[in-house]
């Protein structure tokens, strides 16, 4: 399949054919894609391997893209059903059955409801993070374990989260926020100091009940968990810190919590989410673009320049950098700065310092009034 000259050779060699079947690689790479698009032949999206629904969805998306470029030359899955007659004269019966099954599968994927051996295909599917794998993960043993088609297996923890972090994705032995910082941040949220922020997030994201929302770098789950409870969204949280995800899963068991390095790879199939948010986390714009639906929303929150100015001095205005990072593939759809002044007692100040890794060296500190500030930017996946 991966022949650079394929699109040139198809014409002369196949002028007597009514149909041409090209068996491609399981994943669409740029090379294969250009050949398929340039060839201007019927594309029948097939099931690349028994469990590789991710690649199949990709193929189905490619057909849609191809239809826009050459509306008449390329067939949709339903077109493929009509065209399958081209394969009926084939004398090898098993091959005919094979094509029929593949076309049926492709149509099902297009409609988002293929079922194979009782396992539902869903666009919200987790994918395997073992290097070079990327197959869909299926829940087995009543949800106590997820496995991929190659047999890679991940156990759910007692509190219900799944750790998909791979050795190559760790930078430290215990990556991400330490348990102490996680606890301090949760105590701060529990004081109600973040109410204005979570209200602004809820409003800007405009999430409706039942929508699938990803929180990349979700920490201990305050924003996602609150949205799930107050707006009825279907929440999926990813963070690299096991301590943070453990805390999130214990408090908000209604959401799905995953330990993974979202900076490198968000372990979900493309086009999974109606909306994605990342609040004061680092961000990988390309990965967020991949997992959000066409036209979906991405809400990015960064600490405003005055956030905790009393404890750490004036911070950077991260707006310009953010607009640069979220340039390709996104359209700006709104900005807002939320600022609140809150009174903290001595314990609260200590927690705020721990949460930003600026613990006071010596001596006691009293209570004080501090500024909390969050810059929010909304983008639309274009
Ligand atoms: Zn795997």
* Structural domains in the chain, sorted by start: 6-116 (no CATH), 119-155 (no CATH), 162-381 (3.40.50.150)
Q: Which two tokens stand for residue 256?
A: 């799905």
| CA gap 373, 354 in Å, rounded | 17
Q: pTM (2 decimals)?
A: 0.69
Ligand 1 centroid, distance to 354 Cα (angstroms):
38
**H or E segment and range at residue 178:** none
Ligand 1 centroid, distance to 63 Cα (angstroms):
26
Ligand 1 centroid, distance to 154 Cα (angstroms):
10
Q: Tell me: the pLDDT tens digits for 170-227?
A: 766 667 788 999 999 999 999 999 999 999 999 999 989 999 999 999 999 999 999 9
Ligand 1 centroid, distance to 57 Cα (angstroms):
17
Ligand 1 centroid, distance to 49 Cα (angstroms):
13
| CA gap 320, 326 in Å, rounded | 10
**Contact of 114 with 108, CB cutoff 8 Å:** yes
Ligand 1 centroid, distance to 320 Cα (angstroms):
39
- Residues 261-265 have a mean pLDDT of 88
Q: Tell me: the pLDDT tens digits for 68-81?
A: 554 444 444 444 44
Of 56-60, 133-137, 157-161, the least confident: 56-60
Q: Tell me: the pLDDT tens digits for 268-305?
A: 988 899 999 999 887 889 999 999 999 999 999 999 99
**Contact of 81 with 107, CB cutoff 8 Å:** yes
User: E strands within 133-218?
Assistant: 138-140, 145-147, 153-155, 162-163, 212-216
Please work out, in degrees rounded to the nearest 5, the angle formed at the alpha carbon of residue 111 by the alpha carbons of 105 and 117.
45
Q: Which two tokens stand for residue 10?
A: 């198809």
Give, in order, the Cα–Cα distances in Å from 302 to each of 206, 280, 305, 313, 366.
19, 5, 9, 16, 28
Ligand 1 centroid, distance to 32 Cα (angstroms):
23
Ligand 1 centroid, distance to 52 Cα (angstroms):
10
């Amino acid at each position: 399949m991966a022949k650079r000259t394929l699109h040139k050779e198809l014409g002369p060699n196949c002028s007597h054919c009514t149909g041409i079947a090209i068996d491609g690689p399981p994943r669409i790479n740029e090379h294969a894609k250009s050949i398929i698009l340039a060839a201007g032949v019927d594309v029948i999206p097939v099931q690349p391997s028994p469990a590789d629904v991710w690649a199949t969805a990709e193929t189905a998306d490619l057909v849609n893209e191809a239809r826009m470029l050459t509306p008449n030359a390329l067939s949709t899955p339903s077109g493929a059903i009509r065209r399958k007659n081209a394969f009926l004269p084939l004398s090898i019966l098993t091959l005919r059955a094979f094509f029929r099954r593949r076309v049926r599968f492709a149509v099902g994927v297009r409609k988002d409801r293929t079922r194979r051996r009782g396992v539902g295909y869903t666009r919200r599917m987790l994918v395997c993070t073992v290097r070079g794998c990327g197959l869909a993960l299926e829940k087995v043993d009543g949800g106590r374990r997820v496995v991929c088609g190659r047999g890679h297996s991940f156990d759910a923890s007692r509190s219900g989260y799944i750790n998909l972090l791979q050795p190559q994705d760790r930078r430290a032995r215990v990556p991400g926020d330490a348990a102490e910082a996680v606890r301090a941040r949760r105590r701060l949220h529990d004081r109600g100091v973040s109410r204005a922020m979570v209200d602004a997030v809820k409003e800007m994201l405009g999430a409706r009940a039942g929508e699938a929302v990803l929180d990349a770098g979700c920490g201990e789950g305050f924003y996602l968990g609150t949205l799930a409870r107050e707006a009825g969204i279907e929440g999926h949280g990813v963070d690299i810190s096991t301590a943070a995800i453990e805390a999130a899963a214990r408090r908000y068991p209604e959401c799905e919590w995953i330990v993974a390095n979202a900076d490198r790879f968000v372990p979900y199939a493309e086009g999974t989410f109606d909306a994605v948010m990342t609040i004061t986390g680092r961000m990988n714009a390309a990965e967020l673009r991949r997992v959000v639906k066409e036209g979906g929303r991405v809400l990015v929150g960064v600490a405003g320049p005055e956030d905790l100015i009393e404890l750490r001095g004036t911070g950077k205005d991260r707006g310009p950098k953010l607009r640069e990072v979220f340039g390709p593939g996104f359209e700006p759809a709104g900005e807002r700065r939320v600022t609140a002044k809150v009174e903290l007692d001595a314990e609260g100040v200590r927690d705020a310092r721990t949460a930003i890794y600026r613990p006071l060296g010596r001596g006691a500190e009293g209570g004080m009034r501090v500024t909390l500030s969050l810059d929010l930017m909304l983008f639309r996946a274009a």
